Structure 1
Amino acid sequence: MLVVAALGGNALLRRGQPLTAQAQRANVRIAAQALASIIRAGHQLVVTHGNGPQVGLLALQGAAYKPDEAYPLDVLGAETEGMIGYIIEQELENALDHDRPVATLLTQVLVDKDDPAFKKPTKFVGPVYEREEAEAKAQAAGWHIARDGDKWRRVVPSPKPLEIPDMRVLKLLLEQNVVIICAGGGGIPILRREDGSMVGVEAVIDKDAASALLARQLGADALLLLTDVDAIYRDFGKDNATAIATLTLAEARNLDLPAGSMGPKLAAANDFAASGGISGIGRLEDALAILERQAGTSVIS
């Protein structure tokens, strides 16, 4: 089977951990073992990952320069794809005892310049702040901010991914049985000009939505959305909460989940399952079991 595995932010940085290279590498080392189990079971693997804290940190570092010297979000997205991809690539090679080629590809993702998301930023990036500090930073830098749990964070536009122009390269790598790390942080957001040329745009694409698009365009058999929660729960947070093993497309569409947690993951899972594949949501450590439908929540057509 061809499997696309999307690593949630917990694979790189758990909430409250310092945003250091050491902390991220330690978490990725654990993630690599789970991913390696999928490959050892005989499957082809494509890995995607988030980048919210990392791209936000780079943007903060850029604030030390003059306004016209700071890099835009598309360039920062490319930087984080390379940085995070390097760590995942190295740890996955180590977990596989270097018996399989692994490659990271900086991945451009086309969006629509008229996407309404550009007028209503919703994507969290960077560290969390107390409200007063977040408001001060927003006023100084021209940010949009929003509540994230009991803290506040910067939010940026998150347009819908439409097309992956690098698909030909990805398919060539898969033909050579390469394990691919790509579309990190949702990919590098770009626009197509009227003359057909491409240009980057200030945005951060939702990683789960981009992963579903990637899985569809690759013709993957399965999409795994891996996080730190073991499954989707009915009545989550209540005494009668129950884990859901399987959801049909209709059941998934009718399930009301918070937009800031499982909502985007279920939407992406439903999107891919509608194309005929199987989507799975659950804990990173259970990746192979989720693929085999022995753990997590499966969404099926």
Structure 2
Amino acid sequence: MRIVIALGGNAILQRGEPLDCETQRRNIHIAAESIARIARDHQVILTHGNGPQVGLLALMNDHYKEVAPYPLDSLGAQTQGMIGYLFEQELRNQMPGQKVCVMSTQTLVDSDDPAFSDPDKFVGPVYTREQADSLLNEHPDWVIKADGKHFRRVVASPKPQAILELASLQHLVSADDITVICGGGGGVPVKRTRDGLLKDVEAVIDKDRSSSLLAEKLNADAFLILTDVDAVATQFGHPDSRNIRTATPEGLNQFDFASGSMGPKIEAAVDFVRRTGKMAAIGSLNRCSDILCSDSGTVIRPGGDGEVTYY
């Protein structure tokens, strides 16, 4: 099977952990152990988030006043190289002799996307209310929103229209013995000018949405979104909430999912199922093999009814 796996940021950094390189390496080592259990028997195309890393680079970048701050697209490209390198090394260690490749990718967006007027993508570390107020005084062009009990910077997250390196990726995965790491952070966001030239965009692409598009275009047999929850909950944090075991896209329509967290994951998974007629699933990184066998996580399959089952 050919499987696209989209890793949440928790695979690289747990909430509240320091953003140093060694912490990320330890977490990526654990993630690679889990992914390797699938990649030994199936072809894996791995994507990953980069929100904390982009936010950290932006803060570090801002403190060096001798150079104009680098834009978000350049910072996103930096994280693709850094995180991709760590995953490639750890996967090679887990699967000696198997081929692993990292590819930098760009994602085309519409410069008129309404997301630019209502940014909602979290980047960087979490802050207290006092820290957030102080940062807004220093950076009046920033937007900061509540993230649970904390606060984080948010930036625009326009919808992906195309992955510019798709033809190269299709050629690469045609050799089905290669594990590919690509689409880091949803891909570096770019737009086309009126004269057809590519230009940078100050935004961050949602990696689940771009991974869904990638899975479709690479003719994947399954699309897995791995995060820090066991399954999709009907009312996360509410005492009456239930974990969903299986559902059709229509069955998920009856629930409201948070736009800043589970909402885009549901949207990405449902879009893949509807466009391809194949399986998508959302669940815990530690249970990825079980998710593939439909023994864990929330599995979404095509169907014309509103079927939902629970754990």
Give the TM-score of the pair, scaled to structure 1: 0.96
1: CA distance between counterparts of 2:260 and 2:186? 16
For residue 131 of structure 1, what is the aligned residue in structure 2?
129
1: CA distance between counterparts of 2:234 and 2:66? 47
Q: How does 1:66-105 map to 2 (within 5 A)?
A: 66=65, 69-97=68-96, 99-105=97-103
Unaligned runs of 5+ in 2: 303-311
2: CA distance between counterparts of 1:277 and 1:257? 22
2: CA distance between counterparts of 1:238 and 1:74? 37
Q: Spell out, residue by residue over 1:88-119, the C-alpha distance to the aligned partner (whole angstroms, 9 max, x if none).
A: 1100111112x211111111000000001111
Question: Is the contact made by 1:253 and 1:270 (CA closer than 8 Å) also made in structure 2?
Answer: no
The Cα of 1:265 is off from its aligned counterpart by 0.9
Q: How does 1:1-301 map to 2 (within 5 A)?
A: 1-40=1-40, 42-66=41-65, 69-97=68-96, 99-141=97-139, 142-176=141-175, 177-275=177-275, 276-301=277-302
One-letter amino acid matched to 1:133: Q
Residues 151, 137 of structure 1: CA spacing in aligned structure 2 closer, same or farther, 3 A cutoff? same
Q: Spell out, residue by residue over 1:113-135, the C-alpha distance to the aligned partner (whole angstroms, 9 max, x if none).
A: 00011111111111111112212
Q: Spell out, residue by residue over 1:128-165, the C-alpha distance to the aligned partner (whole angstroms, 9 max, x if none).
A: 11112212212212211111111111111110001001
Residues 239, 128 of structure 1: CA spacing in aligned structure 2 closer, same or farther, 3 A cutoff? closer
1: CA distance between counterparts of 2:121 and 2:297? 26
Q: CA RMSD in A?
A: 1.3
The Cα of 1:235 is off from its aligned counterpart by 3.9
- Structure 1 range deviating more: 228-237 or 274-283: 228-237
1: CA distance between counterparts of 2:240 and 2:132? 37
2: CA distance between counterparts of 1:240 and 1:203? 36
2: CA distance between counterparts of 1:234 and 1:57? 33
The Cα of 1:197 is off from its aligned counterpart by 1.8
Give the TM-score of the pair, scaled to structure 2: 0.93
- Structure 1 range deviating more: 129-138 or 118-127: 129-138
Unaligned runs of 5+ in 1: none
SS in 2 for 1:134: helix
The Cα of 1:293 is off from its aligned counterpart by 0.9
SS in 1 for 2:162: coil
Residues 188, 194 of structure 1: CA spacing in aligned structure 2 closer, same or farther, 3 A cutoff? same
Q: How many residues align?
A: 299
Percent identity between the two aligned chains = 51
The Cα of 1:67 is off from its aligned counterpart by 8.4
Residues 67, 196 of structure 1: CA spacing in aligned structure 2 closer, same or farther, 3 A cutoff? farther
